[in-house]
């Protein structure tokens, strides 16, 4: 039982602290050997970041108190955890024979090059090996197959070549195998079918094809069907050919199946209908033919079904109505025929329906107006006939309506112009007649982009309608209409007032919430602070220290529930491994899903971690904000220390931008909204909390997204409360690549450090990757001539509508001011937030013409006008 009497515990803690300080400085021979091996590897590295843990490695102290390492009770190293430290060098100089007890080796997100030495097979106790996101080359050594204790093997995003060693089939404890985004070729070894504990297999983004030594008619070995516990199978973006083995239907635990962008042929096996736990199936961009298998309709948990860009023919089966959980159905770019089945209307959860480029030849059923969750409705380029049903006006969530290039006739129903969320309507190339309804011009707040060309419409058209842009078209049409005075103008004034009023109410309640939460946590906080100051005496080397616990944020979550829900932190609930611990997902008996950040369960903790834990609690208990991750509670106990947060479905921005499929889904509107969300959170922390809070580690890793792609700032492990009139001097913290340049020489923390990191993240969202290349060009003249269109994320369709284009351009303009090398020239977060919500038309030229130089100048002129 962990709900303990705090006062008694505090006394125990203090007693332990004293005991530990005296014992920490002793060295053992094994420590010396391991220290020697690590120091000589450190010397071989040509670079590491200013914030690297390696700065604490020296021959004067035990490696057990260095940053990034953890020892067991005998003083032998069990963990080496050095992600994101800009390490440059190789693994040839790492003495793999010197660490008999090493269980965790994490060197991800660095710049290690050279190959993986086969001696790595000597780390016989290794359970976690993560070398992802480096520049490693050469082949995967077969000796990795000796690491029989491995549960997690992650080598993604390197330049590894050759084939996948058959010996990996010996790693029977493996739960998670990730080799994505390398240059691996050859076949998928059938031995992988022996990995009976595997939960996740990710081989995507390689050049895997057929095993040349054993030519069969499928590149996917049927042995994979023996992976009875597998939950995620990702073989997408390879060169897999042949047909899909029907045995894959035996993967009963599978949740997610990605096979898209390969050369797979033949029928989609009907056996896939047996994968009853499947929630996502992505088979698009292959060469599958035959009819849509009606057996797939038995997948009642399926939320995403993507079969586009194949050669499917025949009609959509009526059984499709059984896919009750479906959110996204994409069967575009096939050869489907027949009518739109009325059964589609049973899919009441559906948000996106893509049927573009098929040969559907019915009229659009009135009943589709019942699919109230629809956001995207794409029936372009089919053979649709008949009129547009006015019932589509009931689809209040609709943002995109594509009906172009069909044979639709009749007039445009007035109801389409009252859709509150619509962004784009394309009705071009049809046989529409009649007048364009005036209601279109009343859509003032967010005018959608519409395309009506190539129809038989009448009305106040521009003289040359065929060659007019939608903007010109709208201007022309609506000027004519607005010239007659109407009651609509009064209406608009009214609505502005409401908006302002709402703004004020939100402002007041924000301050109120901040105050209430400060009061609510006052007791907790004071108590914790006292404990913190006591603790600073012996911060460096404490052991078994964290017995202190506060629990019951709301009395609903109990310690036992967490242990039950995660089967005592079983790896299968792990959704990520971070610098200080692992993150788990837990479904509580109440039905609530929470995320747990668990500090490693090692006997000895290191002080960095301890500080970070305390910080996070201290800061997060003070604040409540829609765009800041919520802390529900925490537990400190020698057996396990963890923090309990709200769970955010989409994970980190970093992961999403790295994932091709997810990044494509993140359209410009969502991206701009995320940037607004982050600025809102930071503006709140800097300007509405007293004392102000500086996050100090804003990076795409620490921005989490919920199911609606709303941003939540997380990871307050390095945050600071700024006392008024004090300039905090500090050791460097933060993530390499996001740290404000002045921190390297002044070490003075101000809000402007967050502003800089925010600017980097905003650019990262627009570019789709870290803007390192752009930053290095900032002062050069080439930079000024770079066109915005050439640097934006190529995975998202180029901006066609003026409004999104304007908002992306102004985001970039603001981001550029945020990364100004002089902190005083950076705007405040409050200013940034205000700029982002008030978006007027700032750019007269078309999006394709805008250059970065123009955007920088724009902001400079604006700032000067203000002075």
Q: Name the residue among 746, 763, 758, 653 with its Cα closest to residue 697.
A: 758
Q: Name the residue among 124, 54, 62, 140 with its Cα closest to residue 89.
A: 54
For helices 829-837 and 668-687, the axis angle rounded to 10 degrees is: 140
Range in contact with ligand NAG (rule: CB under 6 A) among 65-73, 88-96, 366-374, 437-445 = 88-96
Range in contact with ligand NAG (rule: CB under 6 A) among 69-77, 95-103, 406-414, 747-755 = 95-103
**C-beta separation of 398 from 373 below 8 A:** no
Question: Which residues, 44 to 63, sit near ligand NAG by CB under 6 A?
Answer: 46, 50, 59
**Shortest distance, position 433 Cβ to ligand NAG, whole Å:** 17
**C-beta separation of 151 from 133 below 8 A:** no
Spatial separation of the C-alpha atoms in residues 395 and 477, rounded to whole Å: 25
Question: Which member of 56, 61, 277, 549 binds ligand NAG (CB under 6 A)?
Answer: 277
- Strands of the sheet with 651-652, listed across from one edge: 651-652, 703-705, 711-713
Of 53 and 143, nearer to ligand NAG (C-beta) is 143
Q: Under the criterion CB under 6 A, does residue 159 sit at the interface with ligand NAG?
A: yes
**C-beta separation of 570 from 546 below 8 A:** no
Q: Using CB under 6 A as the criterion, what x/- string covers residues 8-37 for binding ligand NAG?
A: -------------------------x---x
Q: How far is CA 236 from CA 185, 310, 597, 860, in A?
A: 14, 15, 30, 46
Half-sphere exposure of 188 (CA within 13 A, CB side): 27
DSSP type of residue 724: T
Q: Which of 697, 754, 793, 801 is catalytic?
A: 697
Question: Which residues, 312 to 341, sit near ligand NAG by CB under 6 A?
Answer: 337
Range in contact with ligand NAG (rule: CB under 6 A) among 15-23, 114-122, 440-448, 473-481 = 114-122
Of 277 and 839, nearer to ligand NAG (C-beta) is 277
Spatial separation of the C-alpha atoms in residues 533 and 516, rounded to whole Å: 25
Q: Under the criterion CB under 6 A, does residue 125 sit at the interface with ligand NAG?
A: no
> Is 415 an active-site residue?
no
Q: Under the criterion CB under 6 A, does residue 252 sit at the interface with ligand NAG?
A: yes
Question: Which residues, 389 to 418, sit near ligand NAG by CB under 6 A?
Answer: 404
Counted residue by residue, the chain has a size of: 867
Q: Under the criterion CB under 6 A, does residue 210 sit at the interface with ligand NAG?
A: no
Range in contact with ligand NAG (rule: CB under 6 A) among 112-120, 515-523, 531-539, 695-703 = 112-120
Place of tokens 């030495």: 117
Question: Which member of 44, 217, 300, 846 binds ligand NAG (CB under 6 A)?
Answer: 217
Question: Which residues, 457 to 476, sit near ligand NAG by CB under 6 A?
Answer: 469-470
Q: Is 622 annotated as a binding residue?
A: no
Of 103 and 227, nearer to ligand NAG (C-beta) is 227
Spatial separation of the C-alpha atoms in residues 747 and 453, rounded to whole Å: 60
**Shortest distance, position 529 Cβ to ligand NAG, whole Å:** 31
User: What contacts 522, CB < 8 A, 6 or more positions away?
Assistant: none
Q: Using CB under 6 A as the criterion, what x/- string covers residues 517-556 for binding ligand NAG?
A: ----------------------------------------
**C-beta separation of 57 from 39 below 8 A:** yes
Cis peptide before 429 (omega within 30 of 0): no
* Helical ranges in 319-423 per DSSP H: none
Q: Under the criterion CB under 6 A, does residue 250 sit at the interface with ligand NAG?
A: no
Question: Which member of 31, 53, 90, 176 binds ligand NAG (CB under 6 A)?
Answer: 90
Question: Which residues, 787 to 806, sit near ligand NAG by CB under 6 A?
Answer: 800
Q: How far is CA 818 from CA 722, 813, 822, 827, 856, in A?
A: 20, 9, 10, 6, 11
Cα-to-chain-centroid distance, residue 502: 31
How many separate helices (H) and strands (E) can be counted in the chain? 17, 42
Question: Which member of 64, 79, 98, 350 binds ligand NAG (CB under 6 A)?
Answer: 98
Place of tokens 């996101």: 133
Of 90 and 859, nearer to ligand NAG (C-beta) is 90
Question: Which member of 28, 319, 409, 454 binds ligand NAG (CB under 6 A)?
Answer: 454
Of 88 and 149, nearer to ligand NAG (C-beta) is 88
Q: Under the criterion CB under 6 A, does residue 373 sit at the interface with ligand NAG?
A: no
Long-range Cβ pairs for the range 563-566 (8 Å, 24+): 564/589, 565/589, 566/596
Q: Under the criterion CB under 6 A, does residue 190 sit at the interface with ligand NAG?
A: yes
Spatial separation of the C-alpha atoms in residues 409 and 802, rounded to whole Å: 28
**Shortest distance, position 217 Cβ to ligand NAG, whole Å:** 4
Which residues belong to the annotated binding site for ATP?
597
Active site residues per annotation: 697
Which residues of this chain interact with ligand NAG, rule CB under 6 A? 33, 37, 46, 50, 59, 88, 90, 95, 97-98, 113-114, 119, 121-122, 135, 143, 146, 159, 190, 214, 216-218, 221, 243, 245, 252-253, 277, 337, 361-362, 404, 428-429, 451, 453-454, 469-470, 744, 800
């Amino acid at each position: 039982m962990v709900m303990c009497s705090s006062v008694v515990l505090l006394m125990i803690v203090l007693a332990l602290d004293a005991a530990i300080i005296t014992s920490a400085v002793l060295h053992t021979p094994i420590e010396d050997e391991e220290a020697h091996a690590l120091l000589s590897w450190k010397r071989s590295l040509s670079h590491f970041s200013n914030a690297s843990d390696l700065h604490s490695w020296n021959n004067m102290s035990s490696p057990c108190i260095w940053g990034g390492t953890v020892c067991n009770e005998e003083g032998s190293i069990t963990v080496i955890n050095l992600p994101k430290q800009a390490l440059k060098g190789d693994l040839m100089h790492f003495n793999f024979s010197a660490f008999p007890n090493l269980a965790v080796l994490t060197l991800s997100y660095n710049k290690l090059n050279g190959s993986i030495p086969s001696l790595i097979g000597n780390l016989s106790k290794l359970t976690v090996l993560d070398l992802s996101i480096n520049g490693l080359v050469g082949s995967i050594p077969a000796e990795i197959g000796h690491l029989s204790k491995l549960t997690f093997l992650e080598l993604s995003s390197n330049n590894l070549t050759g084939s996948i060693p058959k010996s990996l089939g010996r790693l029977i404890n493996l739960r998670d195998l990730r080799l994505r985004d390398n240059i691996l070729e050859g076949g998928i070894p059938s031995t992988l079918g022996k990995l009976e504990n595997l939960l996740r297999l990710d081989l995507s983004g390689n050049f895997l094809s057929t095993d040349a030594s054993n030519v069969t008619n499928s590149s996917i070995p049927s042995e994979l069907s023996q992976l009875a516990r597998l939950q995620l199978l990702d073989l997408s973006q390879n060169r897999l050919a042949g047909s899909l083995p029907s045995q894959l239907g035996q993967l009963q635990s599978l949740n997610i199946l990605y096979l898209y962008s390969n050369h797979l042929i033949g029928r989609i096996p009907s056996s896939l209908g047996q994968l009853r736990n499947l929630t996502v199936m992505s088979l698009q961009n292959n060469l599958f033919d035959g009819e849509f298998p009606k057996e797939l309709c038995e997948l009642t948990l399926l939320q995403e079904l993507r079969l586009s860009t194949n050669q499917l023919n025949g009609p959509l089966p009526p059984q499709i109505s059984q896919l009750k959980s479906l959110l996204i159905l994409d069967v575009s770019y096939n050869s489907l025929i027949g009518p739109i089945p009325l059964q589609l209307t049973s899919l009441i959860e559906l948000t996106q329906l893509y049927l573009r480029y098929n040969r559907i030849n019915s009229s659009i059923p009135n009943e589709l107006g019942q699919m109230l969750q629809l956001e995207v409705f794409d029936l372009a380029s089919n053979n649709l006939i008949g009129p547009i049903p006015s019932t589509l006006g009931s689809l209040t969530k609709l943002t995109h309506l594509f009906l172009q290039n069909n044979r639709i006739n009749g007039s445009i129903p007035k109801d389409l112009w009252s859709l509150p969320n619509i962004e784009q309507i394309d009705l071009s190339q049809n046989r529409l007649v009649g007048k364009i309804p005036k209601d279109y011009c009343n859509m003032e707040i967010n005018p959608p982009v519409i395309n009506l060309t190539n129809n038989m419409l009448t009305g106040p058209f521009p003289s040359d309608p065929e060659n007019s842009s939608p903007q010109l078209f709208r201007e022309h049409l609506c000027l004519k209409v607005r010239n007659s005075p109407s009651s609509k103008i009064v209406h608009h004034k009214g609505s502005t007032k409401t908006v302002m009023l709402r703004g004020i109410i939100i402002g007041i309640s924000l301050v109120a919430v901040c105050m209430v939460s400060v009061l609510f946590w006052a007791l907790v906080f004071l108590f914790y602070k006292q404990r913190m100051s006591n603790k600073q005496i012996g911060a460096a080397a404490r052991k078994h220290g964290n017995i202190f616990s506060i629990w019951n944020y709301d009395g609903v979550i109990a310690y036992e529930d967490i242990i039950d829900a995660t089967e005592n932190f079983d790896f299968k609930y792990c959704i990520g491994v971070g610098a200080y611990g692992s993150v788990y997902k837990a479904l509580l008996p109440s039905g609530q899903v929470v995320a747990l950040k668990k500090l490693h369960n090692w006997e000895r903790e290191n002080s960095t971690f301890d500080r970070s834990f305390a910080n996070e609690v201290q800061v997060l208990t003070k604040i409540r904000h829609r765009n800041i991750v919520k802390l529900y509670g925490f537990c400190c106990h020698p057996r396990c220390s963890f923090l309990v947060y709200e769970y955010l479905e989409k994970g980190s921005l970093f992961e999403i931008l790295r994932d091709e499929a997810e990044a494509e889904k993140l359209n410009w509107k969502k991206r701009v909204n995320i940037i607004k969300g982050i600025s809102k959170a930071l503006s709140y922390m800097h300007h509405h909390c007293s004392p102000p809070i500086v996050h100090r580690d804003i990076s795409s890793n620490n921005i989490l997204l919920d199911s609606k792609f709303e941003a939540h700032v997380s990871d307050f492990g390095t945050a600071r409360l700024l006392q008024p009139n004090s300039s905090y001097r500090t050791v460097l913290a933060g993530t390499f690549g996001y740290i404000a340049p002045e921190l390297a020489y002044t070490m003075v923390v101000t809000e402007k450090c967050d502003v800089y990191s925010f600017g980097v993240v905003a650019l990262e969202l627009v570019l789709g990757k870290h803007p390192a290349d752009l930053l290095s060009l900032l002062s050069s003249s080439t930079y000024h001539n770079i066109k915005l269109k050439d640097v934006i994320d190529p995975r998202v369709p180029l901006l066609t509508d003026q409004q999104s284009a304007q908002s992306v351009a102004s985001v970039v303009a603001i981001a550029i001011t945020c990364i100004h090398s002089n902190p005083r020239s950076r705007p405040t977060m409050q200013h940034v937030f205000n700029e982002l919500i008030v978006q007027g038309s700032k750019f007269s030229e078309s999006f394709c013409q805008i250059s970065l130089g123009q955007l920088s100048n724009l902001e400079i002129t604006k700032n000067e006008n203000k002075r």
